[in-house]
Chain A
Amino acid sequence: MTDEPNTVIEVENLVTHYGSRKILDDVSMSVKEGEIMIIMGGSGSGKSTLLRYMMALEQQTSGTIKLLGNDIAKLNQQEMFNLRKKLGVAFQGGALFSSMTVGENIMLPLYEHAKLDMMTMEIMARMKLEVVDLAGFEDLMPSELSGGMIKRAAFARAVVMDPKILFCDEPSAGLDPVVSSAIDDLILKLRDAMNMTVVVVTHELESVFKIADRVTVLDRGHILFIGTVAELRNHKSERIQNLLNRRPEENTVDPDEYLRRLTGDEIRGDAIL
């Protein structure tokens, strides 16, 4: 008998607003331990927003988010700090601290949370840099690195505390195909080596087919699909097939509506160029 893996992320009926605009509407999903879950969707579908809520950076309108069994809305400050130590995040732009060297960036979580001496922390930082193929770059400043190197350094920082869950926001955006494939390999390597649960937001189809265990497709704030890659390929929905085959949406155009959109309810003529 095999044990059913634990659910580490559980999102239930999540509704969120940005100002008065509804971004996510009744989103429910879950991620199991050791799984690579990819969240995909077009621009403005709310995928990055969903990730921000999972990282507990925003307050939802309604619904619950549970990370490692904790309802994040009900945690007090101290419990939240402790939970955060088990999460790692690789941001889209890397978000390395520009005033610190690469090595210091990677050591920062250790320095703040673990009582270790400097030597040990430096060795640990170098080990993580070794994992992301950046050995020997610890004394450079982030501004001296290329885009791909920044992303890999951000991965090293994200995993330095050996987190249970790793969040990646658009890990291959803006990178050439070779580097972005290397980052995919890195994600697989990290998962296999440390049995991390990984949540990746991306719209790179190649990455999706290469690394995903399961895929969540978001569309305009709603869940369109959750399932395995094979199920995704064979899905009947036209919208999903459009997304997979890079076909633009063919909206039927109502001439009157189109004209009204162009001219607006009222032409103000006050744009300043």
Chain B
Amino acid sequence: MNISKARESATDFVEKVGRMTVVGVEEIGNGGFLVIESIYWIFFGPGLKQPVRLSHVVVQMVEIGVKAIPIITILSGTIGAMLAIQSIYMLRIFGAESQVTYGVAFSVVREFAPLITGILVAGRSGSALAARLGTMKISQEIDALKVMGINPVRYLVVPALLAMVVMVPCLTMFNMLVGLYCAGLYINLDLGISMAAYVEQTIDILSVGDLMHGIGKSAIFAILIGVIGVVNGASVTGGAEGVGKVTTRSVVQAISAIIFTDMIFAFIATQS
């Protein structure tokens, strides 16, 4: 009796793992297809009289980008100062505080700016995208679009994706500036290095490659956030509770995807 129960729970477990794997692979496939379909509509939409409207993209850009500026400013400033504090603490062990600019410049530009921006946009806009599409699906608004002969990917998804791909790198650049500035303020206070010297040193240290590393990463994050939000929103079942679930799910998945991609990107980009 006990053995058969144990066997049953073991097969249950294997079955669950199998199912989850299939669902996971299916979702990744859906995401990939969505990107291809979006590119299709951008280029072939106008010919099919289904253009992606610039006004929709601009509305999304304001929503995703412009409205995120205050919170990005606060967080990137805080993180810049925090990095300066920690770096000085660590470098003091070797008596090398004056080299703090190296640590701060590299960490902000290559790592923290894209990462924090990505996580913030995932929380603000990725979840909103999933919730919006999910609500539209359960209230049959997506069906309504389809029967009107309006492709939902072209009408709803492409503007949001395009806006993400443009705005997340922009926010990242802004994040870099504010982060570096606030780090400089703290360094100026603590070590008495003048702002002018700090700025000059930062410009010396950073190369275009470092900037591209950070900005390139953020563009990939943007696609991840958008696609994960859309795939989750489109998979809603089960009313309002379902919308809540996919919203949470999209944030967790987007942040996880960002962190994994970040590590892989950093590894690949530093080999050579």
Chain A interfacial positions (CB closer than 8 Å to B)? 55-57, 77-78, 80-85, 87, 89, 91-93, 95-98, 108-109, 112-113, 167
Contact = CB atoms under 8 A, between A and B. Distances in A.
B143 A57 contact: yes
Given A77-B48, A89-B144, A84 B149 contact: yes
A98 B144 CA distance: 12
18 contacts: A56-B147, A78-B48, A80-B149, A81-B49, A81-B149, A83-B149, A84-B147, A84-B148, A87-B147, A95-B139, A95-B141, A96-B144, A97-B141, A108-B148, A109-B150, A112-B149, A113-B148, A113-B149
Nearest to B51: A112
Those 7 A-B pairs whose CB atoms lie nearest each other, nearest first: A84-B149, A95-B144, A95-B140, A89-B147, A81-B149, A91-B140, A109-B148
Interface in B134-162: 135-136, 139-141, 143-144, 146-150
B50 interface: yes
A92 B139 CA distance: 9
A57 B140 CA distance: 11
Contact of B140 (A83, A85, A93, A108): A93
A246 B158 CA distance: 49
B140 A92 contact: yes
Contacts of A92: 140
Contact of B50 (A81, A91, A96, A109): A81
Contact of A93 (B139, B146, B148, B149): B139
A57 B149 contact: no
Residue from B49, B146, B149 having most chain A Cβ neighbours under 10 A: B149
Contacts of B48: 77-78, 81
A57 B144 contact: no
Given A78-B48, A81-B48, A112 B140 contact: no
A167 B140 CA distance: 14
Interface in B13-67: 48-50
A113 B155 CA distance: 13
Contacts of A112: 50, 148-150
Residue from B141, B144, B150 having most chain A Cβ neighbours under 10 A: B144
Interface in B107-152: 135-136, 139-141, 143-144, 146-150
A85 B147 CA distance: 8
A95 B150 CA distance: 14
Given A78-B48, A80-B149, A91-B144, 9 more contacts: A55-B147, A77-B48, A85-B149, A91-B140, A91-B143, A92-B140, A95-B140, A96-B141, A98-B139
A156 B140 CA distance: 17
B100 to A, nearest CB: 48
Contact of B141 (A56, A81, A98): A98
A32 to B, nearest CB: 22
Contacts of A83: 149
Contacts of B143: 55, 57, 89, 91, 95
Contacts of B135: 98
B234 to A, nearest CB: 14
Contacts of A109: 148-150
Contacts of A113: 49, 148-149
B49 to A, nearest CB: 8
Interface in B145-197: 146-150
A226 B135 CA distance: 37
A108 B149 CA distance: 11
A241 B143 CA distance: 35
Nearest to A167: B147
B239 to A, nearest CB: 12
A78 B141 CA distance: 22
Contacts of B146: 57, 84
Contacts of B149: 80-85, 109, 112-113
A57 B147 contact: yes
Nearest to A81: B149
Nearest to B142: A95
A68 to B, nearest CB: 14
Contacts of B139: 93, 95, 98
A231 to B, nearest CB: 31
A167 B146 CA distance: 14
B200 to A, nearest CB: 49
A54 to B, nearest CB: 10
Contacts of B136: 97
A99 to B, nearest CB: 8
A208 B145 CA distance: 28
